[in-house]
Amino acid sequence: MKELLLVDDNDRYARILENYFAKHGYRSTRAVYGHEALRIIQEKGVDAFDLVVTDITMESQLAGISMLRKMHAMGLRAPIIVASTGFDVILAKTLGRWWLRRYGVTFLVPKTTVLAENLLFYPVDGSLPQSDFEVKK
């Protein structure tokens, strides 16, 4: 079984994401806030997770970004998926793809697609969105 670090302060979204990724062979470790996720990575090691799925807007508007910077600086190289409400806007998707790429983000997932339990994955490389999860290494 593959290991997933899920970082989200919303229980409803976290449950949906956990269920979705469980169907794809992932066992979840959940952190509610960014500082918890960083502690878990420090305790388990930067290679403990095959995938990280995170919200961006947690305890403050920049909490997720700060967490991604710190994860990257710690040496985490697992693919990262950012699931966030703010990426439903075209400009935000474009800017998000460009800006978050440097922190290892692989996909952006609008939370509206999470809530509908019909996730849509927007690759940060600008290619067409995927309706099913697959990380190409």
Going edge to edge, which strands form the sheet with 2-7?
26-31, 2-7, 51-54, 80-84, 105-110, 122-123
Alpha helices in 47-110 (DSSP H): 63-74, 90-100
- pLDDT surpasses 60 at 134: yes
In the structure encoding, which two tokens stand for residue 59, read together?
Answer: 């305890």
Residue 42 located in a structural domain: yes
Q: pLDDT digits over 89-128, tens only?
A: 554 556 566 667 778 888 888 888 899 999 988 888 777 7
Encoded tokens for 52: 């990280």
CA 82, distance to chain mean position in Å, is: 3
121 vs 27, which has greater pLDDT? 27
Structural domain contains residue 132: no
Number of domains in the chain: 1
For residue 7, what is the domain's CATH number? 3.40.50.2300
* pTM summary value: 0.87
The token pair that represents 64 in the structure block: 């997720």
Per residue in 78-92, pLDDT (tens digit) is 888 888 766 555 545
Is residue 54 within a helix (H) or strand (E), and if so which, with residue range? strand 51-54
As a whole number of angstroms, the distance between CA 105 and CA 123 comes to 9
Q: How far is CA 126 from the centre of its chain?
A: 17
Q: What is the pLDDT of residues 46-72, one digit of tens each?
A: 999 999 999 887 765 557 788 888 998
128 inside domain: no
pLDDT value at position 137? 47
Residue 110 is part of which domain span?
Answer: 2-123
Residue 23 lies in a domain: yes
